Amino acid sequence: MLQRDADGATTPALKIRLGDYQAPTWRIAGVELVFDLDIASTEVYARLELESADATPAPLRLDGEGLELIELRLDGKRLGPADYHVDVHALQLSKLPARCVLESRVRIRPQANTALEGLYLSGSAERGFLLTQCEAQGFRHITYFLDRPDVLTRYSVELRADAARFPVLLAGGNAAGSGALVDGRHWARFDDPHPKPAYLFALVAGRLQCIEQPYTTAEGRAVTLKLWAEADAIAQCQYALGALQHAMRWDERVYGRNYDLDVFHVVATHDFNMGAMENKGLNIFNAKYLLADADATTDEGFRAVEAVVAHEYFHNWSGNRVTCRDWFQLSLKEGFTVFREQSFSADMHAHALKRIEDVATLRRAQFPEDAGPLAHPVRPAEYAEINNFYTATVY
């Protein structure tokens, strides 16, 4: 593949190599995010509590693409252009103290984001809603950050928006407050007590309806399960809600894994560039894999909804709480979670039938890939585009 330089010239894309891995030189002890949401223009405030991994701090490089930098502060002091370097891929600072607080304010444009990475508009400007997709490297389209899976931190997120246009505000974590603002706006805050990498961040804002169900884990934790969709689709979410409860109970019984937040959100959208995404506490699904109707959905369709709902829930432990060092370890979370999903489906239905289906999938998708020009190992030694890493072989 080719990529374009700033002057428009094309050059071969740089390859990322497994052997080049280096541990992060900076850690983020905590992050606070504030979003002033609007379809055309959204402002994002980020407060990063930074800690150097070494006694002598290395220069700091934060990933960031498609961002308009409005303001940058270090330990409360506003920085000028001479204090940092910013280009189309990153923000860089040097001579930092070993512990510091970096505050940034950037502007992004969700409606113009046709790459469907980061924050974008799902649906029309009049009726659609805002949502995010951050795996694998979408968070860098939201704010400047260490956008790599081996940097985990705790997120505190506040969403602000027009209450009529965006009556529902969701982010990963536990609800930590909400209220009204001036000029018909409102806010909602969410705190996630569990450290997570940037690719698991998520938010949703818009006109959505909800069905919900209380659930008590095997450890006695009271959880609320909430499935969200647009008004014309919410009636088709009931089957998925039941499948989610079956998956949670199965994971408790078979793996001893209990859910670890107060609420679990699942959102359906017709505009999504993946089948589904396991964002911590806020799964986002392509509607194809969440909606089911007894009058229109086949038996195979019902099993597919059940399997995908279970797969994304199982990621809460195999992928979210226990995550990857780098993207070369993608199969450790995806391959293992596929195995868990297949075991669950076999227990829910018939083991022999499930095995036949799995082998048929291998013969249809993975065997041709492995026998053709796109053949590659489960853990390739290098890649040029991470989104091409999501293959039948890796899964």
Domains and CATH numbers, the chain: 24-206 (2.60.40.1730), 209-309 (3.30.2010.30)
What are residue 338's phi and psi, to 5 degrees? -60, -40
Three-state DSSP at 143 gives coil
How far the first Cα of the chain sits from its last, in Å, is 23
Question: Which stretches in the chain have pLDDT values below 50?
Answer: 1-11
Question: What pLDDT is stored for residue 271 in this prediction?
Answer: 81
Cis peptide before 136 (omega within 30 of 0): yes
Q: Among residues 73, 93, 91, which one has the least CA distance to residue 83?
A: 93
The structure tokens listed for 236 are: 């088709």
What is the set of active-site residues?
312
Residues in Cβ contact with 359 at an 8 Å cutoff, skipping those fewer than 6 apart: none
CB atoms closer than 10 angstroms to residue 23: 8
The answer to whether the Cα torsion of 45, 116, 265, 62 is positive or negative is negative
pLDDT for position 128: 93
Q: Which of 197, 198, 160 is nearest to 177 (CA)?
A: 160
pLDDT value for 270: 87
Burial class (CB in 10 A: 0-12, 13-18, 19+), 258: middle
Give residue 12's pLDDT. Answer: 58
Do 109 and 76 meet the contact criterion of CB atoms below 8 Å apart?
A: no
Alpha-carbon span 91 to 350, nearest angstrom: 53
Whether the CB-CB separation of 266 and 326 falls below 8 Å is answered with no
> How many C-beta atoms surround the C-beta of residue 233 within 10 A?
18
Render pLDDT for 277-335 as a digit per residue (tens, 0 to 9): 999 999 999 999 999 999 999 999 999 999 999 999 999 999 999 999 999 999 999 99
Q: What is the CA radius of gyration of the chain?
A: 21
Rounded to the nearest 10 degrees, the angle between the axes of helix 330-348 and helix 299-314 is: 130
Q: Which of 359, 174, 344, 316 is nearest to 249 (CA)?
A: 344
| 137 contacts: CB under 8 Å, gap ≥ 6 | 63, 117, 147, 199, 386
State whether the Cα torsion 61-110-286-203 is positive or negative: positive
User: Cα–Cα distance between 304 and 263 in angstroms, integer?
Assistant: 24
